[in-house]
Amino acid sequence: MSAGFSLLFVRVGWRNLWRNRGRTWRTAASIAVGATIVIFGMSVQKGMYGDMIDLATRLGSGHLQVQHTQYLDDPRPKYLISGAESLARQMEALPEVAATTVRAEAFALVSIGEKSVGALIQGVDPERERVVSDLPKSLSQGTYLAQSDHAYVGAGLARNLGVDLGDEVVVLGTGVGGSVAAMVLTVGGIMETGQSAVDRSVLQVALPALQAAFGLGDGGHRVVVNLHNIDAIDRAVEAIQPMLTRGSVIRDWKVLMPDVDQAVALDRVMGEFIYVILILIVVFNIGNTLVITILERTREFGLLLAIGMRPQAIMGMIIVEALALWLVGCLLAWVLSTALLAYPVMVGIPLESMGVEELVQGFGIPVPDALYGGVDARTVLMGPLAIGAGGLLASMFTMMRIWRLQPVEALRDEE
Amino acid sequence: MSLVKVGQLAWRNLWRQRRRNVTMLVALSFAVMGVVFLNAFLRGMTAQMADSAVNNMQGHVKVLQPGYLDDPGIDKSFVLESEWSPEIPAGQMQGWARRVRVPAVIMSERETRGIELIGIDPAQESISFVADWTIEGEGLQGPDDRRILVGKSLAEQLETVAGRRLVIITQGADGRSREAGYRIAGTYQSEASAVEKLYVFTGIEAAQALLASDAVTEVSVRLTDAKHQPTVLESLIATFIGLNVFTWQTLEPMAAAMMQMSDAMIYILFIIIMTALVFGLVNTVVTAIMERYREIGMLRALGMRAGAVLLQIVAESTLIMLLGVAIGTAAGGGLCLWLSDGIDLSAFAEGLEGFGMASSVLVPMILPADVVFVVVASVVMGIVASFFPALRAVRLNPLEAMRH
């Protein structure tokens, strides 16, 4: 094909678009609306899926944790990360990392008078804990570790012990070297998470108090890391790896919460299913629109054939037209979906309006107030690309009959 | 022009322009089929979420001694009469189970772990996920079975296998510590390793013997349909005065909140999908009519009145819409029926293979109300969509329209 020839059908195609402006805008608009629906649907779905991980990691695990290699399977106090605080500070300097905190843990007996109950004692840094986890938000009475000798007690545990705000409890456990570890604490706050397993077994204290009582030095058991963007998790792990000393390991939320990982994986498959059907509906529809439009132009093609245009040139002309329509449609779609998504991405769709709040209140469950949209290359490109491919295929397939078309018959075509 | 004539003309037109109409019909049926199926898929998804909470030994309604949740133990128990069974109308209840659940410590020669010891009557556990598990070795044979069933992950941690013995220590009804040796009947594999590490099962009578008690710690009732929950809750509250009667939503507020959240998501997704459907219908119908300006101009030029042309075009769209919706609904319903054994999602994703069957298989669920909504919305939207471009077409000067 010579350059002049190819320019010809590009020119004819271009002119055709301008000649029948009504049809051009209509088709471009339907491509735009179709693509917008897919982009919007995928972004909303992606946002929801992001919320689920966020919600779960905010229950305490964080996105990443540095632990002793043994600690996950066998949580004993001796499996420590020493120099945890400096490691946390070092990690905080990474661009991917949003926040870190150090936690130490020990199982111990909590007693008041004659009554004793076993509990998981967590030593935390109150200020940083607030940023990383939602447990401080589950405060139902009192304050969150306002003083260094305060305890933040699960509501169930408090009921079992029969303690109230201001009561003094004694914590007795075994320190690292096998020594007796003891603490006297004042109940400063009570938490109600709605998860009975947490409420009946967790007691938080200030980290230094736990470190001193259990002989942990400057060590912690979990260095919790939260990222700005969970999609950057692999890069963050790679950057953190060289900072680790022997015997410590970095674990992501999938390892820390396999059940949530499975639920998310399942959710993602279902999401994919929904995308596929949504895209199929839209692509099929736009393909159909293009097919009808092409079928209506049989007469025009007959005329072009009659005055000597080659079938492949007509095919080329249709492809040029389709591509131009697609491009215009996509540009419109991106503008439209940016406008549509601005609200859910920035502000969120309030869950309250959908009756969720009702249940959340009274339990202090950290459910987000709103659903947020999530946007990435996939959500923005997948719909337009599928529509482009589907539309082009449908057009080309319909145009195949141009080779069999008899100009005279085509000119008589009524449709 | 009479309505019969209009209908006749419309019908003939449909046949005359077979090429265009078949394309339209295929697109319409496909969109309706997709929506019917997707809707059933989403409904199946929420139903399954509720199911997994109910399955997780909760049942729809559960009876507990006050204080059990904060401090579980045999001291927070109640006695059931020997022949007791819940007074719930037949057809509303799928089954019920009585259980003894107490915290305990389990020991092998090498390791010690904290667990929950659950005494069950295996015949009653068809209401929970216990019935779905694959068991290596043997399952429990009856309420008096003195052997134990442990999770596969726990068995690995304890470095033991079926046939070996383990020691269980717990607190008896008198507050004193009790221990006994148990032979492992088999190991079970569940969906979540957390479950496998926590739950150890034995016959309920064997558990009561260990605890020196004839009481149970819970009665769990599973219904045939969640809609009976409020009435059953009330009737059980009236029966068990002084005890706590809870729904699974109260017992697992986190799961219930998650489910409400996903319900909200499904609501949004449904709106998006309906938008896609309506857009598809409108787009198809409008395109088809816009391409017919010439024909419409011709009819007008021949002297057909504007109202009649309008009526004829709307009648045509309605016919094709009805046909498309009928085929689409039938095809969508057929698809759901064909997949009524469930769609195994694990085939589509890595990392789900190790997952128990029950929760990665999704059964689409068709709700008649949803289908009616889709059908009515499609037909109405189709008619409205055809009306306006047709109105514009008949308003044009016939000559102008013919030049189109």
- Work out the percent of chain B whose per-residue pLDDT is above 70: 94
Three-state SS at A203:
strand
Chain A contact for B158 (CB, 8 A cutoff): no
Mean pLDDT for B364-385 is 84
To the nearest whole number, what is the mean pLDDT of chain B? 84
pLDDT at A362: 40
Last residue of a domain, one of A246, A273, A292: A246
Shortest CA gap B245–chain A (Å): 16
B37 and A277 Cβ atoms separated by less than 8 Å: yes
Kindly tell me if the per-residue pLDDT of B75 is higher than 70: yes
Angle between helices B3-16 and B18-53 (to 10 degrees): 90
Partnered with residue A110 across adjacent β-strands are A117, A171
Q: Indicate the pTM of the whole model.
A: 0.72
> How many CB pairs lie under 8 A apart between chains A and B?
192
pLDDT at A354: 53
List the single residue in A157, A278, A414 with the smallest CB-CB distance to B276.
A278
Q: How confident is the model at residue B72 (pLDDT cuts 50, 70, 90)?
A: confident
pLDDT at B1: 57
Any domain includes A332? yes
Any domain includes A405? yes
**Higher-confidence position of B105 and A74:** B105
Q: What's the domain range around A95?
A: 70-246
Chain B contact for A414 (CB, 8 A cutoff): yes
Mean pLDDT for B60-79 is 89
- Work out the percent of chain A whose per-residue pLDDT is above 70: 89
Give strand ranges (E) for A30-135.
Answer: 64-68, 97-112, 115-124
- CB-CB neighbors (< 8 A) of A282 in chain B: 276, 279-280
Task: Report CB contact under 8 Å: B254, A195.
Answer: yes
Chain B contact for A41 (CB, 8 A cutoff): yes
Same domain flag for A346 and A392: yes
Kindly tell me if the per-residue pLDDT of A363 is higher than 50: no
Q: pLDDT per residue over B261-320, tens digit each?
A: 667 776 777 777 777 777 777 777 777 777 778 788 888 888 888 888 888 888 888 888
Distance of CA B157 to CAs A70, A105, A245, B113, Å?
A: 13, 21, 27, 9
**Range of weakest confidence among A239-243, A357-361, B187-191, B363-367:** A357-361
Q: Which of B24, B48, B49, B37 is nearest to B270 (CA)?
A: B37
List the single residue in B31, B267, B295 with the smallest CB-CB distance to A281.
B31
Any domain includes A252? no
Partnered with residue A81 across adjacent β-strands are A220
Same domain flag for A115 and A22: no
- Token pair in block for residue B384: 């409205």
Mean pLDDT for B142-162 is 91
Mean pLDDT for A211-225 is 92
List the single residue in A33, A159, A371 with the smallest CB-CB distance to B279.
A33
Last residue of a domain, one of A246, A275, A291: A246
Q: pLDDT per residue over A172-217, tens digit each?
A: 988 888 888 999 999 999 998 877 778 888 999 999 999 999 999 9
Same domain flag for A44 and A76: no
Q: What is the DSSP letter of A81?
A: B
Mean pLDDT for A26-52 is 80
Distance separating alpha carbons of residues A296 and A288, to the nearest angstrom: 12
Strands B343-344 and B134-137: unpaired
Same domain flag for A217 and A319: no
Interface of A with B in 256-285 (CB under 8 A): 258-259, 261-262, 265-266, 268-270, 272-274, 277-278, 280-282, 284-285
Same domain flag for A148 and A225: yes
Kindly tell me if the per-residue pLDDT of A324 is higher than 80: yes
The amino acid that residue A21 corresponds to is R
Distance of CA A66 to CAs A135, A136, B362, Å?
A: 20, 21, 36
B188 and B196 Cβ atoms separated by less than 8 Å: yes
Give strand ranges (E) for A85-213.
Answer: 97-112, 115-124, 139-142, 150-154, 168-174, 180-191, 202-206
- Work out the percent of chain A whose per-residue pLDDT is above 90: 30
Any domain includes A211? yes
Mean pLDDT for A376-400 is 87
Measured in degrees and rounded to the nearest 5, phi and psi for residue B102 equal -135, 150
Same domain flag for A137 and A42: no
| Angle made by CA atoms A5, A9, A11, in degrees to the nearest 5 | 110
Q: Which of A125, B262, A214 is nearest to A135 (CA)?
A: A125
Same domain flag for A350 and A318: yes
Kindly tell me if the per-residue pLDDT of B350 is higher than 60: no
Same domain flag for A28 and A102: no
Where is mean pLDDT largest: A9-13, A56-60, B223-227?
A: B223-227
pLDDT at A6: 58
The interface predicted TM-score (ipTM) is 0.70
Any domain includes A256? no
Same domain flag for A101 and A239: yes
Q: Which stretch of DSSP H or E encloses residue A384? A: helix A377-399
Distance separating alpha carbons of residues A11 and A18, to the nearest angstrom: 11
pLDDT at A190: 94
Contacts of A4 (CB under 8 A, 6+ apart): none
Last residue of a domain, one of A246, A278, A304: A246
Same domain flag for A191 and A305: no
Q: How confident is the model at residue B186 (pLDDT cuts 50, 70, 90)?
A: very high
Any domain includes A111? yes
Interface of A with B in 57-96 (CB under 8 A): 73
Same domain flag for A284 and A166: no
Half-sphere exposure of A133 (CA within 13 A, CB side): 26
Same domain flag for A315 and A353: yes
Mean pLDDT for B372-387 is 84
Q: pLDDT per residue over B79-135, tens digit each?
A: 988 788 888 888 889 999 999 999 998 988 887 888 999 999 999 998 888 888 889
Task: Report CB contact under 8 Å: B284, A288.
Answer: yes
The count of structural domains within chain A is: 2
If one counts every other C-beta atom within 10 angstroms of the C-beta of residue A45, the result is: 25
Q: Which of A62, A132, A102, A130 is nearest to A211 (CA)?
A: A102
Let me know how many helices (H) and strands (E) chain A has, helices first: 15, 12
Chain A contact for B279 (CB, 8 A cutoff): yes
pLDDT at B310: 85
Task: Report CB contact under 8 Å: A41, B295.
Answer: no
Q: List the alpha helices (DSSP H) in A146-217.
A: 155-161, 196-199, 207-213
pLDDT at B348: 59
Any domain includes A64? no
Any domain includes A251? no
Task: Report CB contact under 8 Å: B265, A48.
Answer: yes
